Amino acid sequence: IFARMAQLISACETRRPASPAVHSRATRLADALVVGAGFAGSVMAERLASAGQRVYVIDKRPHIAGNAYDEYDSAGLLVHRYGPHIFHTNSDEVLRYLSRFTAWRPYEHRVLSQTEHGLVPMPINRTTLNQMFGQNLADDEATASFLASLAEPRAEISSARDFVVASVGQELYEKLFYGYTVKQWGIDPSELDRSVTARVPTRTSDDDRYFLDRHQCMPYHGYTRMFENMLDHPNITVLTGTDYATMPRHRFGHMVFTGPVDQYFGHRFGELAYRSLVFEHETRAVEYAQPVATVNFPSLTTPYTRCTEFKHMTGQAHPMTSLCYERSSAEGDPYYPVPNPKNHELYKRYEMLADAEPSVTFLGRLGTYRYMNMDQVVGQALATARRLLVDTTERMNA
């Protein structure tokens, strides 16, 4: 229905093009058009709507929630269609804001990596070292000095490879990082920014949680329900299955664009690199298939990077279980910006174009070409909404 409405709207516009003067505020469809119903777009839409603006939110996918979309599969298991999403943050503000739209289930994520020494904790911790090197390290101090004996310090740490080798040495780099990173990104780790592998820093303790943030939890009824609550506002109209290209842009005031920034500008300077993923979902007639939510496969002989069993994360009681294998790909929907100097330079050129477009705000992982977690995107959207609303008030008062 939403897609049809959008088609009708744009068909009317094609037949009866209007001059900007005709579309005064009274004849506008809405004050703001938000492209993308993921975290960036939905938070922005909610903030603008709560400040009294009429907002249209569109998404080319047939659903809201962007990459965080979850749904019940045919066996009745709650799964994340676009791979595992675990909420973690150190921001009280972000947690407080999202808590308006959901209750939470406490959850701490754990990951094991499959190696010739069996399943070992990732990120590398004391247990990982004891298992892989047959050690009996008993405390942080002993672990730190063992790590120092493995580490290969270097003057400059710029790449994803440098970061790992400098902190844990070549052997652990090859066994736990090299293959995973090559599969995930399709390039050698020496061609990626250090920030990529810095996401999984080594520990000297035996803490085996994947994240150390103060707040770690999952939306009690899932992400999609949380987004439904966020977008359930009388000032918000949601159109799914609707591409930006089909919308009558001139019938809206401001626009928030959370799709790929290079696409918005018609790839004027060339295409920014994105990494895509293929998600293979599998339902099994066993209660649990893995000891933890995620098992990583760092070997190049396994095509997948990781496999996630959702029930660990959702806490759902069910006699069956659902798994998701992730395989990386150059083709397909853009999921990850590829952080390296070349892409950064190209993005800077698009950012200059974006900054020169006063009636459009670019936001989110794709709109600002940044490898951000969900909480960072929410934080970015909240801060941007505040700025935008102050600007609007100042314009109206001027």
Interface with ligand UDP, residue 4, by CB under 6 A: no
**The only residue of 102, 128, 159, 197 in contact with ligand UDP, by rule CB under 6 A:** 197
Question: Given the rule CB under 6 A, which of 98-106, 192-200, 309-317, 374-382 is the region that contacts ligand FAD?
Answer: 374-382
62-101 mask for ligand UDP (x: CB under 6 A)?
----------------------------------------
User: Helix (H, G, I), strand (E, B), or coil: what is residue 104?
Assistant: strand
AA identity, residue 377: V
**The only residue of 120, 137, 377, 388 in contact with ligand FAD, by rule CB under 6 A:** 377
Quote the CA–CA distance of 112 and 127 in Å, as a whole number: 11
- Candidates 151, 125, 124; CA nearest to 140 is 125
CB burial of 328-359 (b: ≥16 within 10 Å; e: otherwise) equals beeeeebbbbbbbeebeebbeebeebbeeeee
**In the numeric block, which tokens belong to residue 34?**
């938000």
Interface with ligand FAD, residue 83, by CB under 6 A: yes
Interface with ligand UDP, residue 255, by CB under 6 A: no
Interface with ligand FAD, residue 66, by CB under 6 A: yes
Q: In what side-by-side order are the strands of the sheet with 30-35?
A: 236-240, 55-59, 30-35, 252-257, 360-362
**The only residue of 180, 211, 227, 252 in contact with ligand UDP, by rule CB under 6 A:** 180
Instruction: Give the bridge partners for 278, in sequence order.
Output: 327
Q: Residue 57 or 150: which CB sits closer to ligand FAD?
A: 57
Question: Given the rule CB under 6 A, which of 143-151, 172-180, 242-250, 314-322 is the region that contacts ligand UDP?
Answer: 172-180
Residue 354 gets the label, from left (phi > 0), alpha (psi -120 to 50) or beta, of: alpha
Quote the CA–CA distance of 26 and 55 in Å, as a whole number: 14
Q: Residue 172 or 259: which CB sits closer to ligand FAD?
A: 259
Scanning residues 206 to 245, which ones bind ligand FAD (CB under 6 A)? 243-244
Scanning residues 115 to 134, which ones bind ligand UDP (CB under 6 A)? 122
Interface with ligand FAD, residue 54, by CB under 6 A: no
Task: Answer whether 335's CB lies under 8 Å from 274's CB.
Answer: yes
- What Cα–Cα distance (Å) separates residue 85 from each residue in 68, 222, 224, 274, 310? 6, 10, 12, 19, 10
Q: Residue 83 or 123: which CB sits closer to ligand FAD?
A: 83
Surface-to-core class of residue 231, CB atoms within 10 Å of its CB (0-12 exposed, 13-18 middle, 19+ buried) = buried
Interface with ligand UDP, residue 298, by CB under 6 A: yes
**The only residue of 373, 379, 384, 385 in contact with ligand FAD, by rule CB under 6 A:** 373
Residues in touch with ligand UDP (CB under 6 A):
113, 122, 176-177, 180-181, 184, 196-197, 199-200, 296, 298
Name the residues that contact ligand FAD, by CB under 6 A.
35-41, 58-61, 66-68, 82-86, 243-244, 258-259, 277, 335, 364-366, 372-375, 377
